[in-house]
Amino acid sequence: MRATAEWESFSEWVETQTPDVICLQEVKLAAYGSISSVKGDGKPRDRGKIKDNTKSAIPDADIVRQKLQRKPFSQYQQFWSLSDWRYSGVLVLVRKPIKVLKTRFNLDPDRPASEHHPDGRVVVLQFPNVDFVGTYAPNHGWEPGHWQRREEWDNVCLNYLIRRQERIDGTKKEERAEQNKREVGGEAGAEEEGKPLLWMGDLNVAPTDFDLTHPAWFKVQVQRGFGRGTAETEVPPECLGQPGCTPVERENFASLLSQGHMTDVWRHFNPEGPPPSDRTSSGPGLVSPSRGGGAGDVANSCLWDVETAHWTWRGTPGNLTPEAGKYYSKAMRIDHAVSRQKVGEKV
């Protein structure tokens, strides 16, 4: 929001397209807490409200409020889920007067719907005709602790879809009826049987090589100090590569689609073309070995313009020259919209 030109361009797009739902991830705003609250202190937070009671938090809170109080965003309801500090965070905007029946801020049906994920990663909204999930997946990272965190997250996501499917199939009707009795007001989390589901957000995974500009290069990246050779630095094969395209992340995403009966909407409407390794490129704005690809990377180039809608993550230019940037002219598709298979034709 501090980048005025980009925000104005986004505002114009919203004004023109009038989307019903806007999902923003990694908003990097702290949740409201006491003045003395700090990261990881365990003190209570209002994760649905921006922190605005400290000298450091007030400027960001003021900017956000000013931007969202102006048209077209003043015509939207706000649903926040925030972390302890300026990290992670999700904001879902719903156009007025669309009715939101119920809300949930975690993916565990056994927890209260009002209990937020501690990192502010989940907003679930139930509409009359569709259920919506907005999430920001944790980065897979380069180290074992991060790998475990991501594996746990992927398991929670898959379990959410499996249990939702069980309710749809009617295999737990008695449990659902009992749950509905316990739920109060608008916090209930059980979806109606057979209702379509749309899941959007930064899912932090490039599902296939078609979602990478330089697949061979991305898939062998390791953190400095790690690699192959000793037990201390050995990277398991399933975790090898740039976070977002490791084998384990891809396998988990494939399971989420198949077992959750979901469809990758972008891929549904944009079928895979020739493999990127069969393409070379030249010309302004196109990926090429001379622009960050590295020696011998000709067969690993891609004809697609890095700035097109196909890619949702792009590397930044280097400090001295653009080409000096490690990820310059490289890109991935890691943000997604996935839906119940029967919804695919309607999205």
319 known member of a binding site: no
Compute the Cα dihedral for 256, 146, 119, 5 and give only its sign: negative
204 known member of a binding site: yes
Helix (H), strand (E), coil (C) string for the chain: CCCHHHHHHHHHHHHHHCCCEEEEECCCCEEECCCCCCCCCCCCCEEEEECCCCCCCHHHHHHHHHHHCCCCHHHEEEEEECECCCCCCEEEEEECCCCCCEEECCCCCCCCCCCCCCCCCEEEEECCCCEEEEEECCCCCCCHHHHHHHHHHHHHHHHHHHHHHHHHHCCCHHHHHHHHHHCCHHHCCCCCCCCCEEEEEECCCCCCHHHECCHHHHCCCCCCCCECCCCCCECCHHHCCCCCCCHHHHHHHHHHHHHCCEEEHHHHHCCCCCCHHHCCCCCCCECCHHHHHCCCCHHHCCCCECCCCCCCEECCCCCCCHHHCCCCCCEECCEEEEEEHHHHHHC
202 known member of a binding site: yes
Binding-site residue numbers are 26, 202, 204
Binding-site residue numbers for Mg(2+) are 26, 202, 204
